[in-house]
Amino acid sequence: MNPPVPLGILEDKEEEHLATQVLGPSINSDNPQERIQARRLRIAARLEARRRNWLYGTELVTNIQVATDIREIHRRVEEEELKRQRLEKLENEVKTSQDKFDDITAKWEEGIHKKIPQELWELLNSQQVHCAGLIEDKNKLISELQQELKIKDDQYVKDLKKQSEDICVLLERMEEQVKTVMRTFRQELNHIEKAFEVERQELLSSNKKKWERALQAHNAKELEYLMNRLKKVEDYEKQLSKQRIWDFEEYNMIKIKLEQDVQILEQQLQQMKATYQLNQEKLEYNFQVLKKRDEESTMIKSQQKRKMNRLHDVLNNMRSKYAKQIKQFQEENQSLTSDYKRLVIQFKELQKAMRHFVIIDEEKFRDFWVMNEEEAKGLISRAFDVDRIIHTQHLGLPWTAPDFWFLKNVGPLFQQQQKSATQILEEVLMQTEEEGSEADQELESYLDLPKQVSASTTRKILMLLCDESGFLIESKLLSLLQPLEKSECYLLRLDAIFSALGVESEDDLYKLVNFFLKYRAQHLSSQEGEMMPALEPVPKGEEEEEKKEKEEEEEEEEDEESLEEEEAGSLVEEEAASTSPRLIHPNDVLKILEAFVKGLKKPRDARAPVKLQKATRDNSKDSDYWKALATVIPRSRQNLWDGLYAALEKYHLVLMRRAELLLECNTLEQQNTELQQLLQKYLGSKINSELQVPPTQVLPISTKSN
Amino acid sequence: SPAPGLPVMSMQETLTTASTSPQAAGQPPSSGSKFTKSFSATWKSRGPNKGPNVRLMRRIIAEDAEWSLAIVPLLTDLCIRHIVKNFRNNPILKQLLPEHQQKVLRQLPPDLPLAVTANLIDDENYWHRCCEQRWPVCHLDCHGGSWKRLFFERHLENLIKHFIPDSTDPAVILDLLPLCRNYVRRIRVDQFLPPVQLRPPPHNGDQSDSGSEGETEEPSMDHYRLGELVAGLSQLEELDLVYGIKDCGMNFEWNLFLFTYRDCQSLAATIKACHTLKVFRLTRSKVDDNKARILIRSLLDHPALEKLDLSHNCIGDRGARAAAKLLSHSRLRVLNLANNQVRAPGAQSLAHALAHNTNLLSLNLRLNCIEDEGGQALAHALQTNKCLTTLHLGGNELSEPTATLLSQVLSVNTTLTKINLSCNHIGPDGGKQLLEGMSDNKTLLEFDLRLSDVAQESEYLIGQALCANREEARQRALNPSHFSAPLTAKGPENPVG
């Protein structure tokens, strides 16, 4: 512990320094700047002193701690030293005592071998002495250590005392420190307060002076203003009196004038009142009139209102009625539609039934027909048989069987049905495809075509048509046709073209083909001839031809062979012309089509009813047929038969008579034989013998008599 | 002055019309206050003589002659009084208006049960009264300036201090937990009572001279376990513990100052679980190396710990090594290992950790024995460290070599502000070298070289350099424009002083 020596000196110096500092810029000097400066310096100096005080104070306080620390260090060092010594001592002690102990234990070993009691006693004694020495050593050591412990205890107590002293000192110093710090703070506060006070005083006095000066100036100015004001007041009073007089005069004048005005205005008022009265009466009258009108109008209004109400009622009634009726009609409509639906269904059923019946009827008809025909044919064959017998057996004439078409007919007579254009097309195309391989068959099977036109020709024409008039086909269809085969493609395209052109039936198709051929012929004959006039007669001719063709077709069935021959002939003709379609220029196709379409319009209109009639069966030929059947045997032959019949009857009669006679003859013979038998019998009987005379004796006599 | 007289005159007129008494009219009142006085006086005087306006009179006159309007307490006052009276059973406070709350709080007695007041009353004045009633001296600054906090912290500390394991009911402390959990931020306990051992007093007396005997009874020497309490305190920031006994006097026994292994383990678990803990102090508790290691291991990577104080224990080099590890595994700012048994190896490991540490601000190794070897290691570490501001190496058997290295550090380091080398054997040469180092330093503010065999001259010169540094620092801190004039004036003053 060594308190800082320079502390006191420093503090002294500080005091001195403070004293000199105060002498620097004086607080009492007149210059306020200087005063402020001086005060600031003083404050700074005080702050510095305080800080230094504080610092030294803390040092003073901490000095105790430092001193304790160093003491502790010293103590520790000493302690360590002591500890070391003690340990050494203990170790030495342990060593020596161990040696001694070893000696003693060694002697015990010796003692075992001792036999003489005296020696043993001596040994035991010496051992006892040794042990006592050892124990004494140990005890000494223990007492030493205990002594040390006691010393330590004392030391502890001393240390405690010392510590309490230290703490006391510490507290004292701390208190002192606190006091000094407080004191300095208080001083500082006092100084600051004083300085403030002084400054305040100065400020107050200076402000007061300023204030007084300002007040004086203010008073002087106030006085001046007062004087000015008095003067002005006098002036204004004078002016006021003048003004008053002038105003009075003016007032009088204005008063007189205004009175006059008032009189005039009163007069005007009277007039106005009169007009007012008048107007009032007028207005009253008008008012009355208007009131009346108003009443009337209200009356009318009420009437109208009543009417309106009535009409409203009516309207409502009507509306309700209308709604009712709508409902009614709707219901009716519903019932009717349901009826209608029912009827339609019935009708459809009826139609179905009808169709059914038609078919059945047809079948029945056919059955009947066949039956009758069979019957007739049976009869006819019988008649023919009879005729043949008559001829061969009776007349001895050779007989030839008559041959008639109707004999071969079986079933009812039918008319050939017209095929549609597409069907024909299909056939044509199919056939022409097969043409190459089976040329012969084609000749036979292709019966429907008109004579002039061959299948190949038709096909070529159609191909041409198909190639040239692509514009008639819808673009959609074209795209659909892409993947199909060539023939199918042609077929469908042609179908589309025909539907566009209006070609429907077989005839139309042939007409078209013919048209082409004719055109070509015409074109060849008159190369520069005009189209239109030449074309016009063509369809008519066509039509006639067609009719003929129809008849021919019907007849075709009847006489196939002749037709075949004819066809063969026509085909031969056409083979020459078959090359001709090549000569039709593709460019002309359109012209031909145009002409054809124009020409086609007329016949089609005429045709419509004909088609309808064809629905019913033509039974005109039936009677002929049946008549023909009935008159299979001609009249001449019947006459022959009649004559023959008469002759045969006569012959029959003769034969009859002969037969009768023969029968008589037979009966007579029979009677004869019978009688002979009877006779025989009688003769041969016993009675005879019994009798005097037997019949047998008689009989031979009778027989001899016979 | 006619201005204040006007309303008074009108009042007087109304009075004169109301009553015929000449007394009221006769008194010419000059001011409002006087008038009210006279007014009440007239009422009193008019008590007996009932004038013509009976109805007017009846409103005021009571049967009691002593009665006056001023005596009648307001209904609110009555209510408040009642509330205060029954506060123990029916605490009503929050529902009241602020002014009434104030009144109630002012009248509440400070001895209300804590269960009622703890979470209800926040008023500082009430708690101030409570504190003053219980303790004559209260250091408000130590408790964050809050009387309520002060009350609860001291109350809790008191309970812990007087807790005797195995005989005191632990519920005494735990019951308080829900009440104080939001207010207690610091537990500062400077005494932990051991379990009562007075049952076999003769037996105890026999064995008093043998210290080793106490250790056999170690299991029974465990102190109060803080674990449950600390876990419940959500705001706890500081733990300041001393496992020892105060004022034992002549009943001293080594047993009484025993920080057992089990205590240590429970404490370690406690501080590990407490994530809000910022300051942990365990002083004067005979913490040895193993215990220190257990404690420090539990503090590794602690999220909040800033200050660790293990001074006045017997921590050796291994404990110091653990502390060094802690330095690099936490955000520790202050480490105090004063008065332990740290020697050169421990100091070297600390220095190694310090070399690259960026958190530690203060390191105290006072009264250890790190010697020159450790001192040199620390000085080397300070050459790279950019964070440490305070270093206390007092009483460490340091000598000249350390001083030379430190002087080099002083000329380089710009963060250190306080160094304490007191009570070492630095010697006059070392002092000179330190003075050289000081001449280049502008940041050091305190440099304690007392009792370190330094020549007085060099010590004085070092003191001057420190003064200059301090002045500079002050200047830096203050607004320089204000004090520029006096400072310039003081410039020449210092060398003179």
Query: What ipTM is given for this predicted complex?
Result: 0.72
Closest chain B residue by Cα to residue A56: B463
The single-letter code of the amino acid at A574 is E
* Per-residue model confidence as pLDDT tens digits over A112-151: 887 888 888 888 898 899 899 989 989 999 999 999 999 9
CA-wise closest residue to B108 among B94, B122, B90, B88: B88
Residue A48, by phi and psi: left (phi above 0), alpha (psi -120 to 50) or beta?
alpha
pLDDT-derived band of residue A696, with 50, 70 and 90 as boundaries? Answer: low
Output the pLDDT for position A636. Answer: 83
Report the SS3 class of residue A33.
helix
State phi, psi for B363 to the nearest 5 degrees: -135, 125
Structure tokens at B204: 């105890």
Output the pLDDT for position B451. Answer: 86
When computed from its CA atoms, the radius of gyration of chain B, rounded to whole angstroms, is 35
Mean pLDDT computed over A432-459: 51
Token pair 């529902």 is at which residue? Answer: B95
CA distance B422 to B441: 19
If one compares A534 and B288, the residue with the highest pLDDT of the two is: B288
CATH assignment of B338-479, among 3.20.20.80, 3.40.50.11540, 3.30.300.30, 3.80.10.10? 3.80.10.10
Mean pLDDT computed over A484-489: 71
Output the pLDDT for position B218. Answer: 42
* Per-residue model confidence as pLDDT tens digits over B249-285: 777 788 888 888 989 999 999 999 999 999 999 998 8
* Per-residue model confidence as pLDDT tens digits over B167-188: 888 888 888 888 888 899 999 9
Mean pLDDT computed over A567-573: 42
- Check pLDDT > 80 for residue A292: yes
CB atoms within 10 A of CB A179: 11
CA distance A185 to A178: 10
List residues bridging with B362 in a β-sheet.
Answer: B334, B390
- Check pLDDT > 50 for residue A175: yes
Mean pLDDT computed over A521-534: 53
> Among A22-31, A87-96, A593-602, B34-43, which stretch is predicted with the lowest mean pLDDT?
B34-43
User: B481 burial class (0-12, 13-18, 19+ CB within 10 angstroms)?
Assistant: exposed
In this complex, the residue of B451, B487, B497 whose CB is nearest that of residue A13 is: B497
CA-wise closest residue to B388 among B353, B348, B342: B353
* DSSP letter assigned to residue A520: H
CA distance B223 to B225: 6
List A residues 450-489 in contact with B (Cβ-Cβ < 8 A): none
Domains in chain B: boundaries: 72-138, 338-479
Output the pLDDT for position A697. Answer: 63
Percentage of chain B with pLDDT > 90?
A: 33
Output the pLDDT for position A573. Answer: 42
* Per-residue model confidence as pLDDT tens digits over A351-388: 999 999 888 888 888 888 888 888 888 888 888 888 88
Chain B contact probe: residue of A18, A60, A70, A76 with most B CBs at under 10 A: A70
Mean pLDDT computed over B449-461: 88
- Check pLDDT > 60 for residue B192: yes
Mean pLDDT computed over B49-76: 64
Q: Evaluate whether B149 touches B143 at the Cβ level (below 8 Å).
A: yes
Closest chain B residue by Cα to residue A63: B450
Cα angle: A489, vertex A493, A494; to 5 degrees? 115
Could A14 and B497 be called an inter-chain contact, meaning their C-beta atoms sit closer than 8 Å?
Answer: yes
Output the pLDDT for position A29. Answer: 60
Output the pLDDT for position A423. Answer: 65
State phi, psi for B438 to the nearest 5 degrees: -65, -30
Q: Evaluate whether A539 touches A511 at the Cβ level (below 8 Å).
A: yes
C-alpha separations of A458 from A462, A502, A574 in Å? 6, 18, 11
CA-wise closest residue to B429 among B450, B448, B457, B410: B457
A17 contact B CB<8A: yes
> Among A312-326, A514-528, A536-550, B384-398, which stretch is predicted with the lowest mean pLDDT?
A536-550
Closest chain A residue by Cα to residue B467: A52
If one compares A355 and A596, the residue with the highest pLDDT of the two is: A355
A169 contact B CB<8A: no
pLDDT-derived band of residue A7, with 50, 70 and 90 as boundaries? Answer: very low
B478 contact A CB<8A: no
Output the pLDDT for position A30. Answer: 64
Task: Tell me which H or E stretch contains A451.
Answer: none
pLDDT-derived band of residue A703, with 50, 70 and 90 as boundaries? Answer: low
* DSSP letter assigned to residue A419: P
Output the pLDDT for position A413. Answer: 67
- Of the segments A31-35, A365-369, A475-479, which one has the largest average pLDDT value? A365-369
Output the pLDDT for position A655. Answer: 94
B463 contact A CB<8A: no
List B residues 398-427 in contact with A (Cβ-Cβ < 8 A): 422-423
If one compares A101 and A501, the residue with the highest pLDDT of the two is: A101
Output the pLDDT for position A412. Answer: 67
- Check pLDDT > 90 for residue B194: no
Mean pLDDT computed over A312-335: 94
Output the pLDDT for position A574. Answer: 42
Output the pLDDT for position A38. Answer: 77
Mean pLDDT computed over A463-482: 72
Chain A contact probe: residue of B371, B422, B464, B467 with most A CBs at under 10 A: B422
pLDDT-derived band of residue A111, with 50, 70 and 90 as boundaries? Answer: confident
Mean pLDDT computed over A202-215: 95
B121 contact A CB<8A: no
- Check pLDDT > 70 for residue B147: yes
* DSSP letter assigned to residue A420: B
Sheet of strand B279-282: strand arrangement: B186-189, B238-241, B279-282, B307-309, B334-336, B362-364, B390-392, B418-420, B446-448
CA distance A273 to A267: 10
CA distance B203 to B216: 14
pLDDT-derived band of residue A546, with 50, 70 and 90 as boundaries? Answer: very low
Output the pLDDT for position A151. Answer: 92
0.90 exceeded by the pTM? no
Nearest-neighbour CA in chain B from A206: distance (Å): 26
* Per-residue model confidence as pLDDT tens digits over B224-257: 888 888 888 888 999 999 998 888 777 778 888 8
A430 contact B CB<8A: no
In this complex, the residue of B422, B483, B485 whose CB is nearest that of residue A37 is: B485
Output the pLDDT for position A699. Answer: 61
Cα first-last separation, chain A? 230
Output the pLDDT for position A234. Answer: 94
> Among A2-11, A516-525, A569-578, which stretch is predicted with the lowest mean pLDDT?
A2-11
CA distance B272 to B299: 6
Closest chain A residue by Cα to residue B470: A51
List CB contacts (< 8 A) between B422 and chain A: 66, 69-70
Average pLDDT, chain A: 77
CA distance A324 to A328: 6
Cα first-last separation, chain B? 66
Output the pLDDT for position A436. Answer: 42
Mean pLDDT computed over A195-223: 95
pLDDT-derived band of residue A607, with 50, 70 and 90 as boundaries? Answer: very low
CA-wise closest residue to B185 among B125, B135, B142, B126: B142
Q: Evaluate whether B43 touches B60 at the Cβ level (below 8 Å).
A: yes
Output the pLDDT for position A348. Answer: 92
Could B395 and A72 be called an inter-chain contact, meaning their C-beta atoms sit closer than 8 Å?
Answer: yes
CA distance A473 to A347: 39
Mean pLDDT computed over B50-58: 50
- Check pLDDT > 80 for residue B361: yes
In this complex, the residue of B451, B486, B493 whose CB is nearest that of residue A17 is: B493
**Secondary structure of chain B in the HEC alphabet?**
CCCCHHHHHHHHHHHHHHCCCHHHHHCCCCCHHHHHHHHHHHHHHHCCCCCCCHHHHHCCCCCCCCCCCCCCCCHHHHHHHHHHHCCCCCCCCCCCCHHHHHHHHHHCCCCCCHHHHCCCCCCHHHHHHHHHHHCCCCCHHHHCCCHHHHHHHHHHHHHHHCCCCCCCCCHHHHCCHHHHCCCCCEEEECCCCCCCCCCCHHHHHHHHHCHHHHHHCHHHHCCCCCHHHHHHCCCCCEEEECCCCCCCHHHCCHHHHCCCHHHHHHHHHHHHHCCCCCEEEECCCCCCHHHHHHHHHHHCCCCCCCEEECCCCCCCHHHHHHHHHHHHCCCCCEEECCCCCCEHHHHHHHHHHHHCCCCCCEEECCCCECHHHHHHHHHHHHHHCCCCCEEECCCCCCCHHHHHHHHHHHHHCCCCCEEECCCCCCHHHHHHHHHHHHHHCCCCCEEECCCCCCCHHHHHHHHHHHHHHHHHHHHHHCCCCCCHHHHHHHCCHHHHC
Percentage of chain A with pLDDT > 70?
A: 72
pLDDT-derived band of residue B376, with 50, 70 and 90 as boundaries? Answer: very high
- Check pLDDT > 70 for residue A444: no
> Among A24-33, A118-127, A179-188, which stretch is predicted with the lowest mean pLDDT?
A24-33
- Check pLDDT > 50 for residue A535: no
CA distance A583 to A520: 8
